[in-house]
Chains A and B, each alone.
Chain A
């Protein structure tokens, strides 16, 4: 684990789960910025409009109304390569459905499927990769 601070984006329609993720992220002490979106489309426009400096870890829920996690990833994968390279997507879900988990593995831009809730241990394991 390097000492470089990391940016975080949380996408979840549940306000509560956003709150939990935000807290857990802040508690790591490795967080440069954390941005929370309850609508996947807002997160997407944020990514499109942001400057691309620095590593950003994205935690994205699967089951959300209007634009779900899969649609978010599909839209993300259509972005320019140099825009995408700084983002590392983790799907974070309560789903225990095998189809969902298999589907997540099919997306090259998704690093891992994580089970909810996001805990201190999980996030430390994620941060090992950076």
Chain B
């Protein structure tokens, strides 16, 4: 077994002879640290945060093993504690075990087999508890996200439905055909908004749960797809759309993730334009060299206030007073980038525009 992977064990005893014989017996199986008193033990614990098992003698001058374990429990909750003691102290041992301070006790004089099995068991327990702590943290994060999600989803999905119900209520008393037509148009918009939200939601979960499908990615194709999606919208909104692609060599990644990323960034770039500004543009530049794709999406729209720059990738954060944003887009971008090991950088100035630079490595 390589020494880095050996279980790290700290042994505390005021008898130097015990320390020496302990180390001699177990140094091949474990990574043994020894301490002659509790102060020294504290230093070792501080220096070695990865100690998984601590064995301590009970009878020591100054502080007993049980007292020492009680003392370190809050600061070092993770290492598993084993007490070594003679029959005389059995009451304090029982007490300590019952109070949860000690995982096992080994009676003196110890045998190699006893010590070995106690350490191995303790280590197993240590690994399980640490893994549980990590899993719990992940779960907590997922719960928090779900709470936030449920809250916003009710708002974002009920919103358009309630609007339509409101209009239906209005149409009951409306007689003018032109007015009714106007209202139907409004209902259509509300439904489009809901549909857009649901599609974002779908994107979100396909990124989250979906398996990556790594294939060769042709950025010319992606550019054509984006042209299909945005050329007409650009013309209607009077926004120039510049595109350039330069791909040297093959590039492998998940092309659905890449499309979700580019699509969201472009959608924002077209959405957040300055209304009364004449020379509107959005540009997309893709360069693929040395197994790295650099995608730059730039616009000269409303920009992002400096105080919001840190929040734009947060789920459901909405920085603008528009009614189209769902607070999902950039969060999805960040999520998708996480899956394909990409990075994103944003530079923006209010009323001048925004530039997103995405860097993705080939797989």
User: Which residues in A have some Cβ–Cβ distance to B below 8 Å?
Assistant: 13-17, 19-20, 23-24, 27, 38-39, 63-66, 94-97, 116-120
Contact = CB atoms under 8 A, between A and B. Distances in A.
A123 B193 CA distance: 27
B121 to A, nearest CB: 46
Given A23-B170, A94-B154, A117 B165 contact: yes
Contact of B155 (A20, A38, A63, A118): A63
A64 B189 CA distance: 19
Contact of B158 (A65, A94, A119): A94
B154 A20 contact: no
Contacts of B162: 17, 94, 116-117
Q: Chain B: interface residue count, which band? A: 20 to 34
B312 to A, nearest CB: 12
Contacts of B327: 65
Interface in B82-121: none
A13 B154 contact: no
A102 to B, nearest CB: 14
B33 interface: no
Given A20-B163, A95-B155, 9 more contacts: A16-B189, A16-B323, A20-B166, A24-B166, A24-B169, A94-B154, A97-B154, A117-B162, A117-B165
Nearest to A41: B321
B190 interface: yes
A85 to B, nearest CB: 29
B154 A119 contact: no
Contact of B163 (A16, A39, A97, A120): A16
Contacts of A117: 162-163, 165-166, 169
Contact of A14 (B152, B163, B169, B170): B163
